[in-house]
Amino acid sequence: DTEVTQTPKHLVMGMTNKKSLKCEQHMGHRAMYWYKQKAKKPPELMFVYSYEKLSINESVPSRFSPECPNSSLLNLHLHALQPEDSALYLCASSQESGGGVYGYTFGSGTRLTVV
Amino acid sequence: AQTVTQSQPEMSVQEAETVTLSCTYDTSENNYYLFWYKQPPSRQMILVIRQEAYKQQNATENRFSVNFQKAAKSFSLKISDSQLGDTAMYFCAFMNGFYNQGGKLIFGQGTELSVKP
C-alpha cells in the first residue's frame, strides 16, 4: 500500500458545526503532516507529527485541533470555523521526520467549504 | 530563511514538444533536497522528481529531467515529449537536509502548465 487516504473528499459545514477530517497511511511512515491550500496557491504547513508527537504547530488557530491516535492515523478536528477557512486540506506522510530524500506522499485532500 | 521562487505563473506547450519550468531558491545550507511536485485538477500532489544537493548528476525520470545548478541556486524542470496528461500545476519545493529543522517542505508559488493538442 503506497497511498495516503483522506476522508471525506468533500465537506460542507456551518460555522457552528464540529467535524473531523481523517488521514490514514499504511506505509510505516513515522511523520505525518497537515497542509492547507487555497486555489492556485502553494500548500501551507499547519502541523507536523513525528513518532505520534506534535513537533510543529505553525501558529494555527485553536479552532483547528490535530490528533494522532496511532502511527497510521491522523485526524484534524474542526470547530467554529470561519468562511476564510474554506480550502483544500492535504495530508502527507514521510518515512521520517524531515522527509529525507524521498519527500512526502500526499493524499488527494478534503475540499472544505464553510458556510 | 529558505525561499523558493517560480517566476512563470503560467506556461503552455504543444503536445509532443519540450518545455522547461524555472525555479530558483535561496539557502545558506549545504545539505538539502529539491523536489518537483505535480498537482493536476484531481488535486493529488504527485512527486515528479527529486534531487539531492550533494549529487552533481542531474536527476532524470523518464520524460522528466532537471538542470541543477548549485552555485546559481537554480533547479529547472524539463518535460520532453509533452503529453495532455502533463497539464497541471507544478510546484518546486525545498527541504533542509537536517532533520532537526522539523521536516518543513517549502514550496514555490507554482507554475500552471497547459499542454495543448
Tens-digit pLDDT profile for residues A78-102: 999 999 999 999 999 988 765 666 7
- Kindly report the nearest CA distance between residue A16 and chain B, in angstroms: 27
Calpha distance A7→A21 (Å, rounded): 6
Of A10 and A29, more confident:
A10
Interface test with B, best of A25, A27, A101 (most B CBs within 10 A): A101
Q: Is the pLDDT at A15 greater than 70, yes or no? A: yes
Residues contacting B46, CB < 8 A, separation 6+: A106, B37, B38, B39, B40
Residue B98's pLDDT band (cuts 50, 70, 90): low
What number is the average pLDDT over the span B42-68?
92
What is the pLDDT at residue A103?
80
Dump the DSSP string for A55-83.
Answer: EEE-S--TTEEEEEEETTEEEEEEES--G
CA distance A86 to chain B (A): 15
Residues of A in contact with B57 (CB under 8 A): none
Residues A44 and A35 sit within 8 Å (Cβ to Cβ): yes
Determine whether the interchain pair A56/B107 forms a contact, defined as Cβ–Cβ distance below 8 Å: no
Q: Check pLDDT > 60 for residue A37.
A: yes
Partnered with residue B78 across adjacent β-strands are: B20, B65
